Amino acid sequence: MRRRGELWRVGRRPAPGDGVYSNEDGCQQWHTKGIDPAPYRCMYSRNINNLFLAGRIISASHVAFGSSRVMATCAHGGQAVGLAAAICRRDQLKPRDLGEPQRMRQLQQALLRAGQYIPGIALREPDDLVPSAEILASSRLRLDLLPDDGPPERLDDSWAMLLPLRAGPIPGLKLRVDVERPTSLRIEFRTSSRLGNFTPDRTLARQTIGLLPGADQPVTVEFSAELDQPQYAFVCVMRNPDVSVHTSETRVTGVLAVTNRCNGAVATSSVQMPPPDSGIESFEYWIPMRRPGGRNLAIELEPSLDAFGPNSLRSGVDRPTTRPNAWVAAMDDPSPTLTLRWPEPQTIGRIELVFDTDYDHPMESVLMGHPERVMPFCVRHYRVLDAAGNVLAEGHDNHQSRQVIVLDPAVTTDMLQIALTAPAPNVPAALMAVRCYAPTSRSC
């Protein structure tokens, strides 16, 4: 249940309660299956009525401090406090006053508008012109194939495809494998016990398939289970070193392969095994692999996954959550284009576009390093055109999640087109959000 004044949520890594005097290891890397709330009220003083707190000095227990102290979380907290202070200064309020529900919603919406993500809360702006527009797309991805064009991956660890599925029957799935000796392969269909988590701890169905030696063998999987609501689900191909599964070089926003593997930087095993009676959960770690090794599995789906339509741009959520929340063009669309059409002309002074800079993968830390200077999902070239085909704005070499386009002078039109260029032949163009505002629209 959401608590009053919640701004965002964080994971949890408890440290010893008695600090530097403890006989225990000072870095205990315990994790949760999901995310925990960080309330706004831990960011201001309880006895100095005009004092905000941010970064590592917020009010937190030693348990919460394990995650509230890390740099990304500190940055989010700093952004929240900075914007809260601006609102307090503008409206002559004290920090505590923003805890009132209506004012808290104002702060949350302002943070979302600035690009922050708050789980469970969508951006809803009365001054955004896009909800009143008809949204048309040149195409939409209906995912039925991740082609077999990558190297085989030996199943020294279990692998899974994380797929956005609709409510109802589970699609049929086909894999291709190489087999060294007679064996059997177990495949499981899993979900998370809590919607919005990404820990496959709930098994709905499983199959065990006998295999004979040979290369490039099809494996067809049919599960009888059904989903009661749209959500991400895991098709898990369980560990078997006698089998190699074929992979795909195709990348798609909102679709991801994960593996049950130990991340040596933060764990000592592929399964969390806390001390008895500690209150900490035991579960398997399923983590995405960094590229270039982090490929998708080569799969065929029947029926196709239809989770990438243009109406996803109205969700108010700018990253994959329980669904992709993105428009993704078809792989073969030569000119991916969105058309916004209003019943009457609108005066537009600002346009915001939100791109996928690999929201599906945790960056862990800037110290971890990765081989890419450009996220493969991010659209690097875009154009915005009016009803007459005039180019209002154009971007080259984009690498940012959020582009704010200020039109000076403002434009009055009943139609806008947003033309994107696919980032690569194996990566379809995707857009997480588009928003349009009149010139007088406020920023907070």
Instruction: Please check whether residue 437 is in contact with residue 348, taking contact to mean a CB–CB distance below 8 angstroms.
Output: yes
CA dist., res. 333 & res. 396, Å (int): 20
Residue type, 184: S
E-assigned strand segments in 356-443: 382-386, 391-395, 402-420, 430-431, 433-437
For the chain, domains (ranges, CATH) are 6-113 (no CATH), 130-139+308-437 (2.60.120.260), 143-304 (2.60.120)
Token pair in block for residue 298: 């080569």
Q: What's the token pair of residue 282?
A: 């035991």
How confident is the prediction for the chain on average, in pLDDT? 90
In angstroms, the CA 97 to CA 394 distance is 42
Answer whether the bond into residue 16 is a cis peptide, omega within 30°.
no
- The tokens of 166 are what? 């609709």
Distance separating alpha carbons of residues 173 and 61, to the nearest angstrom: 46
pLDDT in tens, 107-150: 999 999 988 888 889 999 999 999 999 999 999 999 999 999 99
Contacts of 151 (CB under 8 A, 6+ apart): 247, 295
CB atoms within 10 A of CB 207: 16
Residue 6 corresponds to which tokens in the numbers above?
A: 């919640």
Q: Is 203 left (phi over 0), alpha (psi -120 to 50) or beta?
A: beta
The 10s digit of each residue's pLDDT in 395-408 is 999 999 999 999 99
How does pLDDT run across 226-274, given as a tens digit for each residue?
Answer: 999 999 999 999 999 999 999 999 999 999 999 999 887 777 889 999 8
- The residue assigned the tokens 């001054």 is 127
Q: DSSP for 207-249?
A: EEEEE-SEEEEEEEE----EESS-EEEEEEE--EEEEEEEEE-
pLDDT tens-place string over residues 58-88: 998 877 887 888 888 889 899 999 999 999 9
Note the pLDDT of residue 8.
47
Closest CA to 34 of 64, 9, 14: 9
> What pLDDT is recorded for position 444?
54
What does the block give as tokens for 70? Answer: 């890390």
Place of tokens 């988590």: 197
* Mean pLDDT of the region 336-342: 98
Q: Which of 255, 283, 265 is nearest to 361 (CA)?
A: 255
As given in the structure block, the two tokens for residue 75 are: 């940055």
7-64 residue pLDDT tens: 544 454 555 666 677 777 766 778 888 877 688 999 999 999 999 999 999 998 877 8
